[in-house]
Structure 1
Amino acid sequence: MRDIIWEAPYCGEGNNCFRIGTDDQGNAYIAVAGAEGAYVTDTREALRTLIREIKAGKADHLL
């Protein structure tokens, strides 16, 4: 079992709440709040890049 340290949930409009976590191996995790057992994981840098790209509007076409 991984020892993931989860941040407080980030909630957008409505009930869209996500949590971001990290471990001591340099991995980052993102999950729906309340369902942290089903997460997506990658390096911290990859998650940082994903968040930057989303903030820049590069995923708006998916919404």
Structure 2
Amino acid sequence: MNSDITWEDPYCAEGNNCFRIGTDTTGNAYIAVTGQEDTPLTDTHEALRTLILEIKAGKADHLL
């Protein structure tokens, strides 16, 4: 696991579907399933911000 990542507290939905969001000091953002932080998805802060805003706007509702 990248020790430079600062992880937020886990976010858990129904059924224990938990994930964590993290950031590092070089501008990267991370998303990982809780307990699997050693294999996160990695992208920029801006990409993570865009993803969250699009989800909040309902653009991923068809996946639910």
TM-score over 0.5 (shorter chain)? yes
Alignment partner of 1:36 is 2:37: yes
Provide runs of 4+ in structure 1 moved above 4 Å. none
Q: How big is each residue's C-alpha offset from its partner over 1:14-42, in whole Å with a ceiling of 9 and x where there is no partner?
A: 21111000000010000000110111111
Instruction: Looking at secondary structure, tell me which structure has more helix per residue.
Output: 2
Identity over the aligned pairs, expressed in percent?
A: 78
Aligned residue pairs total 63
Map 1:1-63 onto structure 2 (within 5 A). Answer: 2=2, 3-63=4-64
Q: With structure 1 as the length reference, what TM-score do the two structures score?
A: 0.92
Gaps of 5+ in 1: none
